[in-house]
Homo-oligomer: A and B are copies of this chain.
Amino acid sequence: MNKGRWIWYPGDFEIYQGLLQNLSREERGVNWPAFWRIDDCRKNVKFYKEYTLEQDTVFTVHSKKTGYIFVQGKKLPFGKPVSLQRGEYRIEVYCGTAAGLPAIYIEGEVIYSDETWQVEDYVSPSVGAGTSPYYVRKEQNPEVWEYEERICLPSSEEAKEGGVLYDFGEELTGMIKLSFRGEFRPILLSYGESETEAKDTKRCYYSQMVYDQEEEIPRRAFRYIFIPGVEEGEISLTAIHQYVDIPSIGSFRCENERMNRIWKIAETTFKLCSGVFFIDGIKRDKWIWSGDAYQSYFINQYLMFDEDINKRTILALRGNDPVSQHINTIVDYSMYWVISIYNHYMATADKDFVTMVYPKVKTMMQFLEQQLDQQGFIVGKEGDWTFIDWADIDKEGAVCAEQMLLAECWKSMVKLSDLAGEDGSIYKEYYKDLTANINYYFWRPELGAYIDSFASGNNKVTRHANIFALLFEIADEEQTVSILKNVILNDKVDKITTPYFKFYELEALCIAEKYDEVKQIILDYWGSMVDQGAATFWEEYDPSQPMESQYGMYDDPYGKSLCHAWAGSPIYLIGRYYMGVRPLKPGYEEFEVAPRCASFEELECTVPVKGGTVVIQYEKNQLKVTTDREGGILRVEGKEVKLLKGETTVLPVTH
């Protein structure tokens, strides 16, 4: 009958799971908690709901925590059925705990727990209870994520360098099980995302001596396992791969097999990094980074369209009030967080989520406001990390790229406040004033570009702020043309070196309609990783480096993550720009399909939209678009056609 679901204070489930996530990092035998304040959830809450019972009924409150039911002036214990006769009742459930998440599950035909219950934390007014589609059975424990599991065997096993190398043929996040042909003896497990790493038993990121056959070996990311000092056939390995099963909706095929392969590997990569939360990489850091997550939301929108992982990640990143530091300590990451809320709304039209999270958006903006200078520019304070990118950006005083993000925050606030039923005219003013000041202080007509810092007097131009000026539409038409010429397409300006910012740069190039160029970059850069045998895409890649130095990063010989979420950006770029699918109204109530297929000879691509899909088929001179969703508008070569739900629109095209 399962009508109930586990309920808690909204956001607390995600905050608690986020705490677990940010404490889960391991490196060479040490545990490495994230280096910022990590919030925990509330420890003491009270649920209640009023019922008018038309007939007698029975309910049972289940909880792993401390507390009681209060009804008809009586305190009653958890775990025992409570019978009520017809009539009016206010049922209260008090729940506290010294560790973990206060949560309850009410089982009953009429009285059961769901988001219609109210919850309060004794401080703020009551709010609707939090739930998760993953926790709907009383036997569950919402403190423990229930991963899907798949048993994996090595695809090859080879005696090498005095031991045996097991290749699972794919990246996994799994627990190793050992089976000895003969007697158990202590052995060393040496893990690698690459063969090189696994064989480097002294320096690899994960390794473990196993002293006891019964020992539980922690869940770790790897493709290769090397066991030194054993013979082939002596030990059989099994891996239990654990994952969150979020199905792909998007798909892509074209005439270019290299591109198809890139898309598939990007998909694999991204899905491995999509667990309880969007994490940066599966080997490292396994932390929830706001900047990384911000990019993941975009890829998600064009691959899985999973709203729940967005919400989980957004809530975990933000933690509880008050805001005591920037998200991940990074000023820009706080701002990506704010912007992501409206982006999520635009994709999903989930007004309930906006309503729930809006108070936290406001306190975040208040936190940011404390750091504004007289021009309304945000400036990092002691302990803040003004990141933007691993690049030589002039960060003296107010940094231009940060102001572009801030402007986008104010723009989001205009819309979010409106959704929350508040007057947001002040945010409009802030946006207007800030963009005016950005142009006054940072725009250099003589350079035709935005500079990083006016305080330093260096007039340094980097790509970052100029890319944001395009993405966030701060540059006007004339400035856009100038930026493209003087910065984006100007080889003399320092190149973007990280795939993180390459995400935005390629997007800017798409805005500049450099479709052939972007396609070529994807084929070259990502394709080159494929050439190197990559089963997943890497955190960073410099094709000019020799293979033996490809695994190092952050002064660590195996510090580079070889399965990194942001490397999945081709999925976003293809869906958003080549297929041209985007919502025009929140939740795709109206959406645009504006394919630019000229770079391809033929293709078939499925792009998710809220509540449906768009299938785009293209071959020379013909475009077919099919959608099971109302509201689509096909725009191609100056033509505009209304897409009809369930029908295929066929259109001749000139290229």
Binding site for B on A (CB under 8 A): 16, 19-20, 23, 27-40, 42-44, 46, 66-68, 75-77, 94-100, 121-123, 322, 324-325, 329
Contact check, B96 vs A99: say whether CB atoms are below 8 A apart.
no
Contacts A32-B75, A40-B43, A77-B29 given; indicate if A325 touches B123 (C-beta within 8 A): yes
The residues of B that contact A100 with a CB separation of less than 8 Å are 98-99
Bound: A75/B31 CA distance, A: 9
Bound: A32/B46 CA distance, A: 12
CB nearest neighbor in B for A382: B125
Contact check, A19 vs B40: say whether CB atoms are below 8 A apart.
no
- Name the one of B16, B28, B38, B94 contacting A32, with C-beta atoms under 8 angstroms: B94
Contact check, B32 vs A98: say whether CB atoms are below 8 A apart.
no
- What would 19 A/B residue contacts be, using CB atoms closer than 8 Å? A19-B43, A23-B96, A23-B97, A23-B98, A30-B75, A30-B76, A31-B68, A32-B75, A33-B44, A33-B95, A33-B96, A36-B44, A36-B122, A37-B123, A40-B98, A99-B99, A99-B100, A123-B324, A322-B322
When all copies of this chain in the complex are counted, the total is 2
A591 to chain B, nearest CB (A): 41
- Name the one of B31, B122, B325 contacting A325, with C-beta atoms under 8 angstroms: B122
CB nearest neighbor in B for A76: B30
Contact check, A67 vs B123: say whether CB atoms are below 8 A apart.
no
Contact check, B30 vs A68: say whether CB atoms are below 8 A apart.
yes
The residues of B that contact A94 with a CB separation of less than 8 Å are 32-33, 35
A34, A40, A325 pick with most chain B CB within 10 angstroms: A40
A511 to chain B, nearest CB (A): 38
Contact check, B31 vs A66: say whether CB atoms are below 8 A apart.
yes
Inter-chain pairs besides A31-B96, A40-B40, 15 sampled, C-beta below 8 Å:
A23-B44, A23-B66, A23-B96, A27-B75, A29-B77, A30-B76, A30-B77, A31-B66, A34-B96, A35-B94, A37-B42, A37-B123, A38-B43, A38-B44, A98-B99
Bound: A322/B16 CA distance, A: 20
A373 to chain B, nearest CB (A): 23
The residues of B that contact A46 with a CB separation of less than 8 Å are 35
A12 to chain B, nearest CB (A): 12
CB nearest neighbor in B for A96: B33
Contact check, A68 vs B32: say whether CB atoms are below 8 A apart.
yes
CB nearest neighbor in B for A25: B66
CB nearest neighbor in B for A32: B68
The residues of B that contact A35 with a CB separation of less than 8 Å are 46, 94, 122
Bound: A121/B29 CA distance, A: 24
The residues of B that contact A121 with a CB separation of less than 8 Å are 37
Bound: A67/B26 CA distance, A: 9
The residues of B that contact A324 with a CB separation of less than 8 Å are 123
The residues of B that contact A16 with a CB separation of less than 8 Å are 98
Contacts A28-B75, A31-B67, A32-B68 given; indicate if A96 touches B38 (C-beta within 8 A): yes
CB nearest neighbor in B for A43: B40
The residues of B that contact A99 with a CB separation of less than 8 Å are 98-100
A522 to chain B, nearest CB (A): 37
Contact check, B33 vs A67: say whether CB atoms are below 8 A apart.
yes
The residues of B that contact A77 with a CB separation of less than 8 Å are 29-31
Bound: A66/B31 CA distance, A: 6
A33, A39, A99, A123 pick with most chain B CB within 10 angstroms: A33
Bound: A100/B100 CA distance, A: 9
A586 to chain B, nearest CB (A): 34
The residues of B that contact A97 with a CB separation of less than 8 Å are 23
A29, A32, A98 pick with most chain B CB within 10 angstroms: A98
A31, A35, A42, A324 pick with most chain B CB within 10 angstroms: A31
The residues of B that contact A39 with a CB separation of less than 8 Å are 43
The residues of B that contact A75 with a CB separation of less than 8 Å are 27-28, 30, 32
The residues of B that contact A31 with a CB separation of less than 8 Å are 66-68, 77, 96
Bound: A31/B75 CA distance, A: 9
Bound: A97/B98 CA distance, A: 13
CB nearest neighbor in B for A46: B35
Contact check, B44 vs A37: say whether CB atoms are below 8 A apart.
yes
A648 to chain B, nearest CB (A): 52
CB nearest neighbor in B for A69: B30
6 residue pairs, one from A and one from B, having the closest CB atoms: A33-B96, A99-B99, A30-B68, A31-B66, A37-B122, A123-B324
CB nearest neighbor in B for A102: B33
Bound: A325/B120 CA distance, A: 14
